[in-house]
Structure 1
């Protein structure tokens, strides 16, 4: 069996570092109690620890309201959402065990990764390590043979995003974001929107978590990710500072440093304007390349902080519209060969151009306009790309979408199926100034944005069937299994006829079955569609040429 790079990502962070090292560095953690608090379950959708609580809102997202010093925050996060955290953990582990069944190979990779990640803790501030350690006490014991404790596993979750976009074969990120203000927004105030296209599998995205955190030190903030996170992927603080991240093209890092989600957390907790966010970025070394879009109510604008292991630069615009996908734009990276190659060969530039095209069609962007842009499934000039094409802003695989109005301290968070479900609105002044003893959702019903009607169409049902069938067929291909009929493959392709992928997979099966005429026709149909990357196009052309040679020899 071929061991996927996904497995390396999981093993990489499971082998990160050890609990004893943390306790040697911060011995006072040994004396902190884990049984001083208890969780009360009031219903299937509500759990409480004193005034802090976890509630599931009517849109289906979990909302976690937590406060205190680091140990208390971590402990309460675990008490309130420990089962959800364990579920997220198990999704990753099950994938690992499936992809790397060999125990000896797992052990070999983990020995290497323990060495590789031996300094990771040195780059994470003590308060976040404390919170992570306290949170880890809620992760139930597992007997999966990996030989790592709950703390290691919890720490790993905070680097999954970083290594995920480093490994070329692990195409799980392709985020798109934009900001408008002044004459480009409906009210002249700053507005920021983004899709987080971090896709592991459907199970991993089932339980979105909206965090509202009142730390003992620093600024209260909200963020969106999943259970078990201390870091931040998308968020805004009560001062109206926002942070979102877009992966850049990275080389395989030589050593682990600060996970980008921890950098974003530090900004939200301790920065109130762009200058303060820049200062934080400069003092926290990272080990992958990332564009952080940082917005500020106090500055009424947004900018990009472009980070890599070797340098940092900043990108601003003077036309009141900032667009970001997955390549760098600042002066320091203009001549960077890795960045140039990524622009030429990936789908980042295509989505960048599409965002600019859609923004040009909206003279003054409102929240509703922003959501419609994030949901757009079409290509340049409203061309058809096929459902799930990575070149679209919405390839129907986003973990979440979010829209910020920093000046008004208002945020809109998607639910359900990526960005297609309803958006729940929150006012951070109301959240952090409100009475948490009511243990209620602070979502504002009157500002909710309804789900996209596309979810109710036969076309969307076909896409869901296509996605499920793709997973099954791809696994069969990896195993060399040929027993799929021509009629089955034809039905599969017809579920999503405008996407290249169905024709490519059908062609691979026909090639295995030595039906080279059908294989050739399938690969040529795939090449007639919009293909997201140069590498994928070369792969299809390789199979097309092989099929053509075989067909001519018959």
Structure 2
């Protein structure tokens, strides 16, 4: 009896220690995930109110926000960091809140369990515990200003400020943990003899996909900061980072993800490094100097175009290395692998070249540029819209090996020496590309009436592909995939008929019947998938594993 009591007491002590450790861990996680906002000396801007002129046109002093007839939102903000952040938030608060709604809806789909959502919250809080230390005071103040207009309904995730700060690292976390599942961009540029008028042209597709709703409300932002250069960028509600942009000195920045190792903690988000370059650099050397100052936790390529230097280079940056790729010719191409002598032979890059869609897409881009001859803005847009494979083969719509993967948040073209930029409109990059002249935009000195500010004479028309049966079938195919994602029953043969050359249609059909334990049908679809152009080596291996699993079930 005595031994039993002693054992029980020991067991209770061990249990008590375990419980205490869990409590301490929980307290620690809550503590590190609670990011304190910066101290602001003057918060008067938080009391300002916007003036509504009609349903989609607002002004606040010199600042304004409107919806263009192109479907794009346009916004101009100026001033000190906190002030312009607070004004940004007040002008675009509906878009900030809806953007977070779209993000949360996708999270609910991916992680329906509230327990795992809370675990993810604290994991990201722990992972990003050093995030504020790696962001400049200027950008923390600006994000804090914006956060004052965020919705309170997500307080269970964190404060408005901590949520918006963490969202700026979402691109990096998704990139690192899923290695290209969200990001697979392409960019290129020409100048000198490769451009028809010899001036620089740079184009890029930003293939960052959360869900269809996330890309609905694109904002063309024109920013006139109290310090640094005026600049434009394409963004979304609540996001002050830069993924594509140009400043008033004709310096452009676009970012392309490269293969990364899984990091152990955060550093400076890529988009805020790009923002700092855009705001404070006016040539390539200054851009490199800024990139060197910042530590990142993922690998990224920054394609930098410079009107002053009359050329473009790629800054290739990993968590521990920075290299510059200068093609030493009058064109440049960038997909999702490194090209510099310092990084092209790294183990991570070798894996990327062997297993990823990047080298195929790069080769296709090479073909298209050779076919096009001397480049123009219209030809650049035609390349960005191209959805075919090598030698113009049909590889199915939506294939990551194509230039146009039909997931792009936006597509953009710059003429740095002319300070002109063309931005895509829906659907994807197939709608019109509207042109903004930065000289004219920054000379407006506020808007008092709701009027179009893009240069209508320079608009590039919508792609005629929108009118084809193939495109209409693809839209229906996307509808089927959404039904599958929602767990609905569909006719998989109808889905395949709408996109018959796309390998993933057959994979989805195989998965559909695999879940229903109809192994023979699943096997047939998986085998058919391997007869098409499969995007990546890991995807091909997954299909082969499913084939083997079906065969075992049929024994």
TM-score scaled to structure 1, two decimals?
0.91
Match of 1:364, SS state, is coil
Counterpart selection for 1:94 from 105, 108, 128: 105
Structure 1 Cα separation of the partners of residues 492 and 430 of structure 2: 28
Structure 1 Cα separation of the partners of residues 495 and 326 of structure 2: 46
Match of 1:113 in 2: 124
Between 428-437 and 120-129, the greater mean CA deviation after superposition = 428-437
Q: Does 1:473 align with 2:484?
A: yes
Structure 2 Cα separation of the partners of residues 165 and 407 of structure 1: 32
Q: 1:355 to 1:90 in 2, by over 3 A?
A: same
Q: 1:324 to 1:76 in 2, by over 3 A?
A: same
Match of 1:375 in 2: 385
Structure 2 Cα separation of the partners of residues 135 and 513 of structure 1: 47
Give 1:448-459 correspondences, 5 Å limit: 448-459=459-470
Give 1:217-228 correspondences, 5 Å limit: 217-228=227-238
Give 1:9-88 correspondences, 5 Å limit: 17-20=33-36, 22-23=37-38, 27-29=39-41, 31-88=42-99
Alpha carbon RMSD of aligned pairs, Å? 1.9
Q: Does 1:532 align with 2:525?
A: no
Structure 2 Cα separation of the partners of residues 170 and 161 of structure 1: 10
Match of 2:526 in 1: 523
Q: 1:408 to 1:508 in 2, by over 3 A?
A: same
Give 1:229-308 correspondences, 5 Å limit: 229-308=239-318
Deviation at residue 15 of structure 1 after TM alignment? 9.8
Match of 2:345 in 1: 335
Match of 1:503, SS state, is helix
Q: 1:516 to 1:255 in 2, by over 3 A?
A: closer
Structure 1 Cα separation of the partners of residues 383 and 122 of structure 2: 45
Match of 1:28, SS state, is coil
Between 237-246 and 430-439, the greater mean CA deviation after superposition = 430-439
Contact 2:106/2:210 (<8 A) preserved: no
Match of 2:285, SS state, is helix
Q: 1:15 to 1:182 in 2, by over 3 A?
A: farther
Contact 2:317/2:323 (<8 A) preserved: yes
Structure 1 Cα separation of the partners of residues 179 and 366 of structure 2: 28
5+ residue gaps, structure 1, are 1-12
Q: 1:187 to 1:129 in 2, by over 3 A?
A: same
Structure 2 Cα separation of the partners of residues 161 and 113 of structure 1: 13
Match of 1:360 in 2: 370
Match of 1:330, SS state, is coil
Aligned residues: 526
Deviation at residue 73 of structure 1 after TM alignment? 0.6
Structure 2 Cα separation of the partners of residues 169 and 248 of structure 1: 8
Between 513-522 and 500-509, the greater mean CA deviation after superposition = 513-522
Q: 1:409 to 1:396 in 2, by over 3 A?
A: same
Deviation at residue 169 of structure 1 after TM alignment? 6.5
TM-score scaled to structure 2, two decimals?
0.91
Match of 1:489 in 2: 492
Deviation at residue 165 of structure 1 after TM alignment? 1.2
Contact 1:178/1:322 (<8 A) preserved: yes
Match of 2:316, SS state, is strand
**1:15-43 Cα shifts (integer Å, max 9, x gaps):** 985453x34xxx335x5135431111111
Match of 2:150 in 1: 139
